Structure 1
Amino acid sequence: MSIALNHLDTGGEGTPLVVIHGLLGSADNWRSHVRKWQAERRVIAVDLRNHGRSPHVAGMGYAQMADDVLALLDRLDVPRAHLLGHSMGGKVAISLARLAPERVASLIVADIAPRAYGHGHDAIFAALRRVEAGTPANRGEADALLAEHVAERPIRLFLATNLERDAAGYLGLRIGLDEIEGDYDAIMAAPAGEGAFPGPTLVIRGSRSDYVTDAMLPALHDVLPGARVETLEAGHWLHAEQPEAFQEVVNAFLAEQRD
């Protein structure tokens, strides 16, 4: 059963751009990009289940998450949309495109391939659990707790976007960490659906990321045969590391589409 996702909707005419964040992200992470895109088109940025301000529920399968996004499009009376998904959100977008291709005007996938990946978030989950147990009073204390497990400050700053102050005044997590960890295998799995999505597709990868390597491209094109692959000088969070270049590539691709 689908759930009602929290979302940001700029309003406007034409076929909207739907932005889908990655694991432990939220629509809030995309606000600077949304502000620029909304000058040209309607933008809808979603909080996936167990993320941001959306409900916490069991199940992180890609068919479930794609169904949540489809239900939101139905609720907003959006027959077709351009989809942009980063990392886990890219797998959600690919799943939706395979399961309901008639609803997808074009597909933009940021630094993820349509395949299963190995586990790699143990330290991040441990850091978040440390914050959960530590009940920090401020962001400095929260960062110190995160640093016990995550040395990289940019990653800690990203994780800190999931903090919110509770009724007692302490900082806690707004994500459904139990639900995410409980179905982590589903997150690491391949996207849902079968066959290929034949529509216009852009894949943007980071040159310093190993999420979309040259060796993965033949299998990627089996699922996304029309995909154009663009590489930015960046790591996995390429939209944050190279925001202007990311905007340029996305805007050029969308300009080619007929809304």
Structure 2
Amino acid sequence: MSRPCVVLLPGLLCDAAVWRAQRAALAFADCIVPSYGAAASIDDMARGVLAGVAAPRFSLAGHSMGGRVALAIARMAPERVERLALLDSGMEGIAPGEAGTQERDKRMALLHKARHSGMRAMGAQWARGMVHPDRLGTPLFGEVLDMVARFTPEIFAAQIEALLNRPDAAPVLQGLRCPTLLACGRQDSWSPLSRHERMQALCPGSTLVVIEDSGHMSTMEQPGQVSKALVDWMQR
């Protein structure tokens, strides 16, 4: 019997380190953590993932920006997606008016800092909102900064462009017909629980799991809780 394939999509400025614990927990499957390279749109990221995965069908989990890439893959190639998991993610496009302008300005200010002070210095500012407040200054926070520092300002700029032009994925959620897991850190201030509750309402039959005592980086902050949710999802 062939082993299942699980594709684990990282978020903004994240790499395989964000999925380390979950890959170990899913040792019964072949786990793939793609890189988006220099892709500057969500759809281009999705096309790159689809081209790089040989398995005709796979389970697909995306964290943060990776969840948006996962939804694009589900739209482009629904016949290849056996099940879908979206962690600390979202579905909306950029907000109109002042809210959208503020998001754009904040992201561009971070890019300016990355270009002039370095990726780690930018990460020390940006990542403060990514984790539970109790984890600031801990070794885990250092791991997040190490991960951010492995990227370049050029890749950061490409990923910002992708996010600022992200598509509205609500219709994809509404059309899903595969087992779907939504998971979110209780203290995620970046992609809050209320957003995931709205996503669940659009996706009949989906399961929502709250990751306790966790901010946005739930896979690293609470690896045991997230791994259990994913194993349960795979065994459904």
Which residue, out of 87, 90, 100, partners 1:113? Answer: 90
CA distance in 2, matches of 1:206, 1:254: 20
Matched, 1:46 2:34: yes
Q: Which residue of 2 aligns with 1:136?
A: none
The one-letter amino acid of 2:8's match is: V
- Is the Cα contact below 8 Å between 2:124 and 2:145 reproduced in 1? no
Q: Which residue of 1 aligns with 2:62?
A: 85
Q: Are the counterparts in 2 of residues 106 and 199 from structure 1 also a CA contact under 8 Å? A: yes
Higher relative contact order (CA 8 A, sep 6+): 2
* In structure 2, C-alpha distance between the alignment counterparts of 1:23 and 1:84, rounded to whole Å: 15
The residue aligned with 1:18 is: 7
- Say if 1:89 and 1:30 are closer, same or farther in 2 by CA, change over 3 A: same
* Aligned-residue RMSD, C-alpha: 3.0
Question: Could you say which structure has the larger radius of gyration?
Answer: 1
How does 1:74-223 map onto structure 2 within 5 Å?
A: 76=54, 78-117=55-94, 118=100, 119=103, 120-122=106-108, 124-132=110-118, 145-146=121-122, 149-150=125-126, 152=128, 153=137, 157-163=143-149, 173=152, 176-187=155-166, 189-191=167-169, 194=172, 196-210=175-189, 211-214=191-194, 217-222=197-202
Alpha-carbon distance change, 238 to 28 in structure 1, aligned in 2, over 3 angstroms: closer
**1:207 Cα shift?**
0.8
Q: TM-score, normalised by structure 1?
A: 0.70
Contact 1:82-1:106 at 8 Å conserved across structures = yes
Q: Deviations over 1:51-99 (max 9, x none)?
A: xxxxx24x32x222211111112xx2x1100001001101111121122
Measured in 2, the distance between the counterparts of 1:148 and 1:113 equals: 24
What percent of counterpart residues are identical? Answer: 24
Name the residue aligned to 1:34.
Answer: 23
Amino acid paired to 1:205: C
Aligned partner (choices 227, 231, 235) of residue 251 of structure 1: 231
Is the contact between residue 4 and residue 58 of structure 2 (CA under 8 Å) also seen in structure 1? yes
Q: One-letter code of the match for 1:32?
A: A
Aligned to 1:176, the other structure's residue is in SS state helix
1:227 alignment counterpart: 206
- Which letter maps to 1:206? G
Name the structure 1 match of 2:131.
none
Deviation at 1:241, TM superposition (A): 0.8
Q: Distance in 1 between matches of 2:46 and 2:82?
A: 15
Which residue of the partner structure matches residue 43 of structure 2?
63
Task: Compute the displacement of 1:183 (Å).
Answer: 4.2
Aligned residue for 1:46, secondary structure, equals coil
Letter in 1 for 2:16: A
